[in-house]
A and B are shown apart, each in its own frame.
Chain A
Amino acid sequence: MDLKIKAWRQKDATSKGQFEEYQIANITEDSSFLEMLDVLNEQLLAQGTEPIAFDHDCREGICGMCSLYINGRAHGPDTEITTCQLHMRKFKDGDTITIEPWRSGGFPVIKDLMVDRTAYDKILQAGGYVSVNTGGVPDANAIAIGKIESDEAMDAATCIGCGACVATCKNSSAMLFVANKVSQLALLPQGKVEGARRAKAMIATMDELGFGNCTNTGACEIECPKGISISHIARLNREFLCASARD
C-alpha cells in the first residue's frame, strides 16, 4: 500500500517542532507499524535527511518503550496492544497517518517522537516496592495467598509503564499508573504492611511532578495496551484515604 505520513519533527527539547509530510510506497500489510517507520527512515537516509527518532526496544509489547499518538489515539487504532504490535493491515491504501509524541507536561519531548518518562521512575522510587533486603526472607510457600487476590494483583502488575494512560487523559493524570503498583502490592500480604504509606508517598510525588488529577473519565482504561481496569484506582483511593485518616 501507498501512504502519506505526517510526522512530528522536533530537533531537541528546547526547539519548536512542526509536522512534516512524507510519501511512502509498497508497504505490505504484514509489516508492523514500526517496520513501516524503519522503511521510511531508510528512505530518508537515502535522501540525506535525518531519520525520525522514536522509542522502541522489545517490539513485542512488553518493555513499554514504544509510544506514539497515531491518528489521535495512543498506540493507534487497535485495542489492547502497543504501537510495536500494531500491524499495517489496520490501515488502507492511500491513508494519511498522523504521528505525534505523547503530549503531557509530565513527559517532555526529547526529540521528534521521543519523550522523557523518567517521572514514572521517580514516582515508583517514592515507594513502589516492598521494603525487604536480599536474603533472610521466609519460604515462598510459607504464606498462602488466594488465587483470586493473586490473579488480581497480577492484572495490575502487568502495567508496562508506557505512558498511554497519561497521554490519553485530558488532565494528564498518572492515576492508573500509580494505582497499578499500589493495588498490586495492597492485594498481597507482603505488600499490605506498607500499603497506606506507599499510596501517600507515590501520590505526593505524582502531584509534585506536574501530573493532573483524576476526574474518572475512564479514557485511560480504554487506551491501556494491557487492558488494566480503573477499578484499581478505587483501591488506590481506599489506601490513600486510610493513610490520610491516620494523619
Chain B
Amino acid sequence: MTKLDSKIPEGLVAEKWDNYKAHQGLVNPANKRKLDIIVVGTGLAGGAAAASFGELGFKVKVFCYQDSPRRAHSIAAQGGINAAKNYPNDGDSIYRLFYDTVKGGDYRAREANVYRLAQVSNDIIDQCVAQGVPFAREYGGLLANRSFGGAQVSRTFYARGQTGQQLLLGAYGALNRQIHAGTVEMHNRTEMMDVVVVDGKARGIITRNLITGEIKAHFGHAVVLATGGYGNLFFLSTNAMGSNGSAAWKAYKKGAYMANPCYVQIHPTCIPVHGDFQSKLTLMSESLRNDGRIWVPKNIEDSVAIREGRLKPTDLTEEQRDYYLERRYPAFGNLVPRDVASRAAKERCDAGFGVGTGQAVYLDFKSAIERLGEDLIRERYGNLFQMYEKIVDENPYKTPMMIYPAIHYTMGGIWVDYELMTSIPGLYAAGEANFSDHGANRLGASALMQGLADGYFVLPFTIQNYLADEIHTPRMNVDEVKEFIDAKANVIAHIDKLMSIQGSRTVDSIHKELGHIMWDNVGMARNKKGLETAIEKISALRKEFWKEVKVPGTADSLNIELEKANRVADFLELGELMARDALHREESAGGHFREEHQTEEGEAKRDDANFTYVAAWEYKGDDVAPELHKEELKYEAIEVKVRNYK
C-alpha cells in the first residue's frame, strides 16, 4: 500500500500551503512560452485554469463538447458558493469552513486539501467581484450571504438562483480575453477520446471533432482533465444530458487511479420523476431550505387521501403535518446535510407517508411567505419558483412544492495528490472530476468553490512545480511518435467496432436499463446482496451492449447516437467499479449508506478503525479485477467524531 504518495507538505495544516508555495519550482516567463498545456473542460475548473495558464504565458489548448465554453454544466449551478469571509460577523472563519467541510464529508476527505480550499475561498470571491460578477447585495452596497446545509453560519454568496451561470460567465470572460490575446486556442464541439502517455508521462490527448468526425492527436507538456462528474451514469440525474465519465475512465485505463467511485451525492430537493419518457431530473436549489420547510402528513391515512386526490396539502392543519427534519434534527432542522435529508425523505416514503406518486415529500413556503411576504420570497427564489411551475404546472406560492431525492454529484473521481496530479505524472484532474475535497458527502455551495479554487488558485501554482523540470522537453510531432499513432488507431478501431454491430437496441434503452440497476442497487441504500446482483447484471448488460447496440449513420459526420454510445460504453464499465467499491466499503459514510451498517435510529454508522482511507482503484485489464490501493487518512487538526446534527 505504499504506492500512493499524496505529497502533503510538512508543517501544521494552516501552514502547509504557504510552505508549499514558498518552496515549489517555478517557470520563468521566456520558458513559459515554450510549454504547452492541454485543458479538457471549460467549466469552472477548466475555464478558470485555462484562463489563468494563459495569463501566466503558457500556450494552452482547451476542449469542450458543447458548442461554446460558456455552456459547461457549471452554468446550471443555482444556489451559491461558500467562502470564509465572515462578512455577516456570525462566527465564521477559515478553520470553521474547513471543519464543516471535513465533518460534512463524514471524515473521509484529506485534511490538507480541505484546509487549502477554505484558505483560498476568500480569494475566489474577490476575483469574481473584480471580473464583474453581479453577486447579490444589500441596500448598503455590500455583498449579501445566505445559509446552506451543514453550516450554522451564513457564508454562501449568490447571484439570484443563477450563481453557477454568473461564476462561469466570469471565467468564460477571462478565457475569452486569453483567446483574444492568442495564448489560448479553443476547440469546441470536440470530445476527448483518450489520454496519450509517453515514457510514463501524460503527453497529450486524442480527440474527435463532433461535426466532422475527424480523429486528431494533440501534444501537451501537461494535461488537465476538468471534465465534471459521472452522475449521468444513472440515466436520470440533475446533470446535463452530455455530462459523462468518459475522460476520467479513459485516464483510468491508462493508469490513473479512480478514488472512492461509490461516493455519489443524492440531492434531497429535486422535482420527482413523473414518467418513463423522462430524460432528466430538475434540481430545486438547496437554498430553498433556508425558508422552505419539509414535511409529510403525520397520519398515513392523510397521505393515502392526498395520493388519491381526495385531500389537498393545504387542507392539513399544522398539527396534522410531520416536519420530520425539524423533529429528528432540532439543531440543524431543514438545513441538515444532503445525505441526511435524502435518507430521511426515503425513510418516510418507504414507510408509506409519501405524497404525489408516493415518492415525494412537501417543501412548503407558507410560513416564510407569512413571515416575510411573497415579494421577498419572489426576489430570493423567483426563477426557481418559475421553473417549478413550468414543469409541474402548479403554483408554489399557493401550494407546497413536491420534491424527492435524485442523483446530483459525484464525490468520487480521479485520484489526485496534494498538487492535483493523478497517478500518471503530468496528468492533472480538477473540479468535480477529481475526488479530492468532499470526502463521502459534499456540502452545498462547495463544488463551485472547489472548481474555482482548483482552477484559479491551486493548479496555476502546482503545475509549475512539474513544468519547471520540463523546459528541456521539446514539443513532440504527433504524426511520428508511436504512442500517439497507436492511441489514434485504437480510437478509430473502437469507433469502427461500435458502428459495425448494427444490433437491435438503441443506446438510450441500454442506458436506461443501466440506470435502473444502479438506482435500485447502488443508490440511496445499498446492501451486499444488491451490490453483488448489480455487478452481475451490469456485466451481462455490457455484453448485450457490445452485441446488440445500434448506431446509425456514419463515423465521419455529426452522429449523436455515436456520441452517446461512446459515453454509455464507458458508463457500463465504471458502473461496475462503483458497485465493487460500494461492496468493499463495509461501513456507512456520507452518501454511501450500507443497510448492514446503521445505528438503531437509522443513522449511518462509520467504521473508523477499518475504513479511514481513500480507496484508489488501479486498472489491471478488461477481464481482471482492479487492484485496491489505500491512502490512509490522518486527522491532525480535527478530532474525528460521530457526525451529529441533532
Contacts and interface: CB of A to CB of B under 8 A. Distances in A.
Interface residues of B, number: 80
Contacts of A134: 48, 51-52, 55, 127, 174, 456-457, 460
B371 interface: no
Interface string B280-313: 1011000000000000000000000000000000
Interface stretch (A1-9, A42-50, A214-222, A228-236): A42-50
A139 B174 CA distance: 19
Contacts of B509: 42
Interface residues of A, number: 76
A157 B73 contact: no
A210 interface: no
Interface stretch (A93-101, A116-124, A167-175, A237-245): A116-124
Interface in A34-72: 34-35, 38-39, 42, 45-46, 48-51, 53, 55-65
Contact of A30 (B143, B275, B460, B561): B275
Find the residue from B67, B186, B242 having the highest chain A CB count within 10 A.
B67
Interface string B367-405: 000000000000000000011001101000000000000
B277 A38 contact: yes
Interface of A is mostly: loop
A117 B626 CA distance: 43
A81 interface: yes
Given A30-B274, A31-B275, A111-B558, A45 B550 contact: yes
B220 interface: no
Contacts of A48: 552
A62 B75 contact: yes
B471 interface: no
Interface stretch (B109-117, B158-166, B340-348): B158-166
Given A12-B557, A124-B176, A134-B55, A60 B132 contact: no
A31 B561 CA distance: 22
A191 B132 contact: yes
Interface in A82-120: 85, 87, 89, 110-111, 114, 116-118, 120
B173 A130 contact: yes
A51 B177 CA distance: 38
A35 B456 CA distance: 37
B142 A144 contact: yes
B134 A153 contact: yes
A53 B560 contact: yes
A146 B241 contact: no
Interface in A134-183: 134-135, 137-141, 144-147, 150-151, 153-154, 157-158, 160-161
A42 B508 contact: yes
A120 B180 contact: no
B123 interface: yes
B173 A129 contact: yes
A140 B125 contact: yes
Contacts of B180: 125-127
B558 A35 contact: no
A156 B125 CA distance: 20
B29 interface: no
A147 to B, nearest CB: 5
Given A117-B67, A158-B162, A60 B277 contact: no
A144 B138 CA distance: 10
B221 interface: no
Nearest to A44: B552
Contacts of B561: 45, 51
B571 to A, nearest CB: 17
B71 A35 contact: no
A185 B69 CA distance: 20
Contacts of A30: 274-275, 393
A145 B241 contact: no
A234 B552 CA distance: 49
A140 B387 contact: no
Contact of B126 (A42, A45, A59, A138): A138
A48 to B, nearest CB: 7
Contacts of B186: 121
Contacts of A130: 130-132, 173
A154 B277 contact: no
Given A50-B553, A121-B68, A129-B131, A158 B165 contact: yes
Given A28-B275, A134-B55, 7 more contacts: A45-B506, A59-B280, A64-B70, A87-B391, A111-B557, A134-B51, A190-B130
Interface of B: 48, 51-52, 55, 66-71, 73, 75-76, 85, 87, 123, 125-132, 134-143, 159-160, 162, 164-166, 169, 172-174, 176-177, 179-180, 186, 188, 211, 240-242, 274-275, 277-280, 282-283, 386-387, 390-391, 393, 456-457, 460, 506, 508-509, 550, 552-553, 557-558, 560-561
16 contacts: A30-B275, A53-B560, A61-B387, A65-B67, A89-B393, A116-B67, A121-B70, A121-B188, A134-B127, A135-B456, A144-B140, A144-B141, A147-B141, A157-B169, A185-B132, A191-B132
Q: 4 closest pairs, A vs B, by CB?
A: A144-B141, A129-B173, A137-B130, A154-B134
